[in-house]
Amino acid sequence: MEKSGIIVCATRGVEGIQVGQLAYFAASVIWRASIYKPKFRKGEYRVNLGAQYEEQFRNYLLSISDFPHHASLMVTVSPSSSPCVGVWMPSGEVFKNAHLWRFSLPGIIFDLFVGQMIPETVRKMCVLRSSENLIFMTTKVDDKVSEAAAKLAFAATARSSKRAV
């Protein structure tokens, strides 16, 4: 099914696609970013799942419990045979009274929504919870990765310019 440049792919039963492993990987990256407590410069933002969700994701990663109830993971891939090469480290924002944590690898973006107020439409798009294990495909993945890389480069340039003064 295609909707506004996004192809919705039902992956349940598709050989070679293991949504459980995708979810585990994404949760692991976000959880590790949340528990890592480096000293950041003023204005830099780190992932913060909060103690409650950190523990829920820890238990999930240890196979003690299921994927957290108040979490939804969307996976979006690029259809390109040579996707934009770049890594977008975990970052976050507020999304309709929930938190959205996002990171990318070449050709794929992981969006992890966390909170009790996740919109129902987002819950229905969860790769684990949707009845068809939905994964989304769009050429916009490469645009988003390029945009994130440009922002990182600009921020790094701005920091080095301040130090030089």
List per-block mean pLDDT (blocks of 10 residues) for the chain, which spans 165 residues: 72 90 94 75 65 93 95 88 65 76 85 90 90 86 58 55 54
Indicate the domain borders of the chain. 2-164
Cα separation, 88 vs 106, in Å, equals 9
The confidence score (pLDDT) of residue 149 equals: 54
Name the residue among 150, 141, 128, 105 with its Cα closest to residue 113.
128
Give ∠ CA 24-89-51 in degrees, rounded to 5.
60
Cα–Cα distance for residue pair 63/83, rounded to 1 Å:
33
pLDDT at residue 163 in the model: 54
- SS3 assignment, position 162: helix
pTM, to two decimals: 0.78
Query: What integer pLDDT is reported at residue 153 of this predicted model?
Result: 55
Question: Three-state DSSP class for 59?
Answer: helix
